[in-house]
Amino acid sequence: MPYAIFNTWYFYTYMTRIITHIQQLKQQNKKALAVLIDPDQPIKSTVQIAQLCQKQQVDFIFVGGSLVTSGVLSEAISTIQSNCSLPVYIFPGNEFMIDEQADGILFLSLLSGRNPEYLIGKQVVAAPQLAASNLEVVPTAYLLIDGGKETSVSYISNTKPIPANKPDIAVATALAGKLMGMQCIYMDAGSGAAHSISEAMVNKVQTNVQLPLIIGGGIRSAQTALNLYRAGADVLVIGNGVEESHSLIETISKVKSTLTIGVEV
């Protein structure tokens, strides 16, 4: 079997459930929405957000972040699952954020940085535990993009984000992830970003890489969401904006539910 054919067969045979779901949506010209929940926030807020996610037909809940207090991850996942039936995926900030209550984990490699600990070091530490778990492990190329201010992930990881006006660097980095076997690309402006990733960069990465594309950071309005979806984002992730206003879930969900590629909202 030629390598290219084998590689395609292997991907579609062994790709994870979240990737399968995104691919099915793409075939229907639909998009997905994920809400990122910080485990350190008050339990009452976690309950409210989880219930809203269920009501507004959010596709996935991500839980995690760069700074998470020890012991709260398990409680947060349990609380979320008690209040909604959506798939819960860990968005890990370190190698210790593993909990088998979750449905899966985004196995992130920070390809935009040059700190070996976040490229492969922490992944090596986590790998044996993940291999022995029942978690769905999603190989994910993580690209930090400049969102107009320094974020927790850039500070903690001691890495620089890709400049917002350098889409070619983002494309080359995402392509490297694809060629290394990553199953999706997660481009993030970071928590509390001053602005979202540009539509031009999203479009160029989607056009050249053609893997499921997750976009997060700085998404605070329906118009921003609409622009990013149309530029090529398959999944939008909202987090910090939701903590500021829970109504953002409904706002972005309405955009997602009414958007079909090629049809005006």
β-pairing verdict for 136-144 and 88-91 = unpaired
Q: Is residue 135 part of a domain?
A: yes
Burial 183-218 (b: 16+ CB within 10 A, else e): bbbbbbbbbbbebbbbbebbbbbbeebebbbbbbbb
Q: Is residue 265 part of a domain?
A: no
Q: Is residue 223 part of a domain?
A: yes
Q: Is residue 264 part of a domain?
A: no
pLDDT tens track, the chain, 265 positions: 454 444 444 444 456 899 999 989 988 889 999 999 999 889 999 999 999 999 998 999 999 987 766 579 999 999 999 999 999 999 999 999 999 999 999 999 999 999 999 999 999 999 999 999 999 999 999 999 999 988 888 888 999 999 999 999 999 999 999 999 999 999 999 888 999 999 999 999 999 999 999 999 999 999 999 999 999 999 999 998 898 889 999 999 999 988 865 544 4
Q: How many domains does the chain have?
A: 1
Which pTM does this prediction carry?
0.91
What residue numbers bound the domain in which 175 lies? 3-258
Q: Is residue 104 part of a domain?
A: yes
Q: Is residue 148 part of a domain?
A: yes
What CATH number does the domain containing 150 carry?
Answer: 3.20.20.390
Q: Is residue 263 part of a domain?
A: no
